A and B are shown apart, each in its own frame.
Chain A
Amino acid sequence: MPTKIEKDDVTGRMTTGHEWDGIKELNQPLPRWWLYILWATVAWAVVYCVLYPSVPGITGYYHGLIGYFQRDAVDADVAAVAKQRAGAMDRIRTLSFAQIRSDPDLFAVAQSAGRITFAENCQPCHGAGGGGNPGYPALAAGNWLWGGKLEDIDQTVTFGIRSGLDNARVSQMPRFGADSILKPAEIQAVADYVAGLYGLPGAATNSIEGKRVFAENCAVCHGDAGQGNRDVGGARLAARVHLHGDDRAAILAQINNPRMGVMPNWNTRLDEAKIKSVVLYVHSLGGGE
């Protein structure tokens, strides 16, 4: 509390009257315009609070006289961007893949749209960047079941696999074990043979019985040397990567009672331009042909 305002002999200035243990504070007056600036900012705050949304209530808030609403501003921004994009997406829809690729700017838009579309729709199964998951093909690896050209990917994405549509990719591997088409011994032999096709350690590569069973039952879809057949979706067995696992147990399980994955048709969920964008994106992941 101010006690005694007095003149300091050394400086000739007045004190503020504050004193602590004999130490006094000199009065260094603030310029008055500084004080006015403080009042100006206070006035500004009051005006701002009247004009803009400011005071919170229990169930709502004071909206302000000029009715500014941040979400409206965001909506306007989003609408502006959508309008800007509409032209490019329209061109992606109408132009061919080759035409899109020859226009670097449009291709960049398609890549961007494709990346986002992939992340929102495809990534849960196929993994980020098309890295794949057990049972869900790695799109970046180029080990295609149904073909890796842009047109092939486009058809797969548009109509799906075993989606029930007429144009869908469909294949059905017989349940060699569950339906007793092959004897257990034959299944063991052909499993050894398949393991040998891709050099699984410890596999009996020269099984004559396995080779016979494979030629009679499997080669029609999977190819004479297990190279696969994309026309019927026959998986390439002579490869180091397999959709449902690489070990012998996985081979046996697949021969006994094969798992047949389903991919939805996306033509009812994504528009044409987005499908084409995502096709271009998937093609660029490394496996494109």
Chain B
Amino acid sequence: MSFLGKKKPVAVRTDSLYADRVRVYPKSVHGPVRRFKWGVLIFCLTVYYALPWIRWNRGLGRPNQAVLLDIFHERFWFFNLELWPQDIFYLTGLLIMGAIALFLVTSLFGRLWCGYSCPQTVWTDLFMWVECRIEGDRNERMKRDAGPANFDKVWRKGLKHAVWFVVAFWTGGAWIMYYVDAPTVTVEFWTGTASTQVYGFTALFTATTYLLAGWAREQVCTFMCPWPRFQAAMLDEQSFTVTYQSWRGEPRAKGKRYAGAGGDCVDCGACVTVCPTGIDIRDGSQLECINCGLCIDACNHVMERTGRPGWLITWDTLADQAAKAAGTHIPLRLLRARTVIYLSALVLAASVMIVALMLRPGLGLSVQHDRAPLFVTLADGELRDGYTVKIVNKGPAQAVFEVSTQGMYGAMLTEANESLGPAETLGLPVGGDSVGTFRIMVTGQPASLVDGSQPIDFSLRDTVTGEITVYHSIFMGPVRRRQG
């Protein structure tokens, strides 16, 4: 039996199908792991809160916000990168890369994502820090919660929730700023002129931040998040994770340790009291463990006081632990079939993404043949087909695009609405950052209509950049009887 008198907090009411929540009061801890975790937290939060405020000059008429997901105008801006709705597959690529990177990191070093950079962890840490400043550390909080509702309890709880609410509101508000211009929406928000959506989504994200980071905390990781469920598939005996060295620690010696009597673990429970999910790392790798390593800092303090070497709880692999128990050592193997496969998949996905991004055309052409009529016969016997031609101009300024056709000798083009043509090449003006739609008629006498159709290519040339793109289409006519 460990010092809490039970193995796991969920097993308290063993006769019921429902478990009451066991409140976790994590004790604050100091040490290198905690310092690193603070560092990651400060970095992540700084990026999150500050990013929408970075300005980026893109010229007149374009947003000057460095990162802007402008859903209303259907444009995503990332510094010098501009994405259109049809570029949304880059997001798919990014998600695939994110998933593979997560697999890779987990198989190498365990759930680093969960322990350090997951928003749930970061904001929970921040909310716990606020709680600790106002309500005091673990023992003080437990005592106050168990005590009567006096003035001290009420004002501390009230202040804590007020600060939580402000942080949650700031978080929810910052989320909105990624979708609309940050300075503008800030002014609009406080002058009451922002849209209902802005107020609605701010309220929504304020509420979720407050509830998830303030109240739900480890319940999210243990009961709501799917990631702990399938992390087991990524971990193996070579994964470098937070580990209690039981060969050193066992048998546990309660209280002061005497030389030669038992293992190094003095069963003080320091590792359990600092755990943000309320588990005992000495039970081994488990679902609830987010691999944050705060128990390492806590245990190192104890080892220092008992005069034993530190790192009784450490980062290590299961394989090395087994070897160490037998008096040998297995070095860390970062290159394993699993990690090589993940890494190759990651490199492949990243290469495809980068190449696709580099070769991203600055102009786009789409040609759609009319569905009805498929063609019309003119008085002089020539055929005319109608096409809807869409030209995507991703450049900042209006440009003239030259459209011509190949594959049908003597084909003449006319643009019905702009009254252009007939000519072999039409110059069509398209405004900057926009799509021009044109009704183009192609008139001609096709030489080789097979079963009523023949291929025809539309080519588009940007007269400013000289870039050319081609769209394969067809020209249709009557089905002629074959000779013989």
Q: Please, how many angstroms separate the alpha-carbon atoms of A128 and B370 in the complex? A: 10
| CB-contacts of B1-23 with A (<8 A) | 7, 10-11, 13-21
Query: A127 at the A/B interface (Cβ < 8 Å)?
Result: yes
Q: Please, how many angstroms separate the alpha-carbon atoms of A29 and B414 in the complex? A: 73
Instruction: Determine, out of A130-138, A151-159, A178-186, A207-215, the stretch whose residues face the partner at the interface.
Output: A130-138
Q: Please, how many angstroms separate the alpha-carbon atoms of A286 and B378 in the complex? A: 10
B79 to chain A: closest CB distance in Å? 33
**B379 to A239, Cβ gap below 8 A?**
yes
**B21 to A286, Cβ gap below 8 A?**
no
Interface of A is mostly: loop
**A13 to B11, Cβ gap below 8 A?**
yes
**A240 to B11, Cβ gap below 8 A?**
no
On whether A240 and B372 interact (CB within 8 A), knowing A27-B14, A30-B19, A31-B21, the answer reads: no
Chain B residues with Cβ below 8 Å from A16 are 17
| CB-contacts of B204-245 with A (<8 A) | 219, 223
Q: Please, how many angstroms separate the alpha-carbon atoms of A35 and B381 in the complex? A: 77
B216 to chain A: closest CB distance in Å? 8
Interface code B341-380, partner A: CB below 8 Å = 1, 0 otherwise? 0000000000000000000000000000011111011111
Select B373's contact among A14, A140, A240, A288, beta carbons within 8 Å: A140
Q: Please, how many angstroms separate the alpha-carbon atoms of A76 and B377 in the complex? A: 46
Q: Please, how many angstroms separate the alpha-carbon atoms of A230 and B209 in the complex? A: 75
**A128 to B14, Cβ gap below 8 A?**
no
Chain A residues with Cβ below 8 Å from B17 are 16, 27, 29-30
On whether A29 and B10 interact (CB within 8 A), knowing A240-B379, A241-B379, A284-B417, the answer reads: yes
A90 to chain B: closest CB distance in Å? 22
Residue among B17, B370, B379 with the most chain A CB within 10 A?
B379
Query: A33 at the A/B interface (Cβ < 8 Å)?
Result: yes
Chain B residues with Cβ below 8 Å from A285 are 386, 416
Interface code A51-93, partner B: CB below 8 Å = 1, 0 otherwise? 0000000000000000000000000000000000000000000
Interface residue count for A (Cβ, 8 Å)?
40
Residue among A27, A141, A286 with the most chain B CB within 10 A?
A286
A145 to chain B: closest CB distance in Å? 12
Chain A residues with Cβ below 8 Å from B371 are 128-129
Query: A116 at the A/B interface (Cβ < 8 Å)?
Result: no
On whether A138 and B376 interact (CB within 8 A), knowing A12-B7, A14-B14, A284-B417, the answer reads: yes
Chain B residue at minimal CB-CB distance from A126: B373
**A241 to B378, Cβ gap below 8 A?**
yes
Interface residue count for B (Cβ, 8 Å)?
32
Query: B439 at the A/B interface (Cβ < 8 Å)?
Result: yes
Chain A residues with Cβ below 8 Å from B18 are 29-32, 34-35
**A141 to B19, Cβ gap below 8 A?**
no
Chain A residues with Cβ below 8 Å from B439 are 284
Select B378's contact among A12, A129, A240, beta carbons within 8 Å: A240
Chain B residue at minimal CB-CB distance from A246: B377
Chain B residues with Cβ below 8 Å from A287 are 376
Q: Please, how many angstroms separate the alpha-carbon atoms of A283 and B441 in the complex? A: 13
Query: B37 at the A/B interface (Cβ < 8 Å)?
Result: no
On whether A143 and B379 interact (CB within 8 A), knowing A29-B18, A30-B18, the answer reads: yes
B-to-A contact residues, CB < 8 Å: 7, 10-11, 13-21, 219, 223, 370-374, 376-381, 384, 386, 414, 416-417, 439, 441
Interchain residue pairs with CB less than 8 A apart (24):
A14-B15, A29-B10, A29-B18, A29-B19, A31-B21, A32-B18, A32-B19, A32-B21, A33-B219, A35-B18, A107-B417, A129-B372, A129-B373, A141-B376, A143-B379, A239-B379, A240-B378, A240-B381, A241-B379, A283-B416, A284-B439, A286-B376, A286-B414, A286-B416
Known: A128-B373, A140-B384, A140-B386. 20 other contacts (CB 8 A): A16-B17, A27-B14, A27-B17, A28-B10, A32-B19, A33-B219, A129-B386, A131-B372, A131-B373, A131-B376, A132-B373, A138-B373, A141-B377, A143-B379, A240-B379, A284-B417, A286-B376, A286-B414, A286-B441, A287-B376
